[in-house]
């Protein structure tokens, strides 16, 4: 595989989504990115690593990452030296950040600006497709379109699909409480969030032609100090905290998000699912 820049940290002056927007109004994940947070996954880097390990990527794989963001998972994937890696994101700032991983003249690592539901990539050309912290933010019809696009991209004989999303617990959670959690999340992160229970995530995948082969849940602790240090490292975590303390609007938003996560911690978690195309659905 051609040499890439994936072992280098993202430059501090790299563009981030939401640059220039008011901290009180921008989506929560953009705000955290502006503060310097690079791991924006609900189960943290530990659940991401489990997903990548279970997808069992190797030198023979052609990988597509949907809504790749700022490239925290791209680095981990490229460390596994797949035959090809394509990052998809619709935000031009994210694509610019992801492009720092590419090597001039190499075609096996690329970043493409496109919608996750309509990537424009070739049918059945990928052996691995994964996406993180994206489907939760979409209404059900869009969730389905993105999953169908993943199915279209995958080679039916060897394809594997990985998700890392928010989930609601337990499977028989009162629908009224689920609605309240979704409303509180939307109010805090300024994005419509609709997480599903583990059974509902599996059911959605089954409806769209996938069979879940494994899954794992983890606490939703994105803004807890211990997770922050585990995901970012001690010094970056201190820098993120310092930036938030110096920006009153950002600090209020971060504290509001953490309050909502804590209020619903008994019913809000992270989940990763691994699925393969169901033979009858090919």
Angle 45-195-135 (CA atoms, 0-180°, nearest 5)?
A: 70
| pLDDT computed for residue 18 by the predictor | 53
- Which pLDDT tens digit goes with each residue over 262-277? 999 999 999 999 999 9
On whether the CB atoms of residues 18 and 30 are closer than 8 A, the answer is yes
The pLDDT of residue 20 is: 59
Q: Average pLDDT in the 119-132 region?
A: 97
The stretches of the chain forming alpha helices (DSSP H) are: 28-34, 44-55, 72-78, 92-98, 140-153, 175-189, 198-207, 225-232, 234-246, 248-263
Q: Helices 234-246 and 225-232 sit at what angle, rounded to 10 degrees?
A: 120
Q: Enumerate the domain spans of the chain.
A: 28-276
Using one digit for the tens of pLDDT, what is the confidence trace for 66-124?
999 888 899 999 999 999 999 999 988 888 888 888 766 667 999 999 999 999 999 99
236 Cα distance to chain centroid: 20
Return the CATH fold of 28-276. Rossmann fold (3.40.50)
Asked if residue 236 has pLDDT above 60, the reply is: yes
User: What is the mean predicted confidence (pLDDT) over 169-194?
Assistant: 92
**pLDDT, tens digit (0-9, with 9 covering 90-100), for 3-37:** 333 333 444 445 555 555 667 777 787 789 889 88
Q: What is the pTM of this model?
A: 0.88
């Amino acid at each position: 595989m051609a040499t890439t820049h994936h072992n280098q940290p993202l430059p501090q002056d790299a563009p981030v989504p939401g640059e220039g927007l008011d901290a009180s109004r921008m989506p929560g994940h953009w705000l955290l990115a502006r503060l310097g947070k690079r791991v924006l996954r609900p189960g943290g880097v530990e659940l991401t690593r489990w997903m990548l390990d279970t997808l069992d990527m190797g030198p023979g794989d052609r990988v597509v990452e949907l809504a790749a963001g700022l490239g925290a998972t791209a680095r981990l994937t490229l460390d596994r030296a797949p035959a090809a890696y394509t990052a998809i994101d619709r935000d031009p700032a994210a694509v610019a950040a992801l492009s720092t991983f590419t090597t001039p003249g190499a075609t096996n690592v690329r970043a493409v600006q496109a919608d996750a539901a309509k990537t424009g990539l070739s049918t059945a050309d990928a052996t691995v497709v994964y996406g993180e912290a994206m489907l939760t933010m979409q209404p059900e019809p869009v969730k389905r379109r993105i999953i169908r696009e993943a199915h279209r991209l995958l080679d039916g004989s060897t394809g594997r699909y990985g998700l890392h999303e928010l989930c609601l617990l337990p499977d028989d959670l009162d629908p009224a409480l689920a609605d309240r959690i979704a409303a509180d999340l939307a109010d805090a992160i300024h994005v419509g969030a609709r997480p599903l229970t583990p059974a509902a995530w599996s059911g959605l995948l089954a409806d769209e032609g996938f069979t879940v082969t494994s899954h794992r849940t983890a606490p939703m602790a994105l803004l807890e100090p211990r997770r922050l240090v585990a995901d970012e490292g001690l010094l970056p975590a201190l820098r993120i905290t310092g930036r938030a303390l110096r920006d009153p609007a950002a600090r209020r938003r971060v504290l509001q998000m953490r309050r909502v996560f804590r209020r619903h911690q008994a019913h809000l978690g992270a989940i990763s699912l691994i699925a393969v195309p169901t033979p009858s659905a090919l």
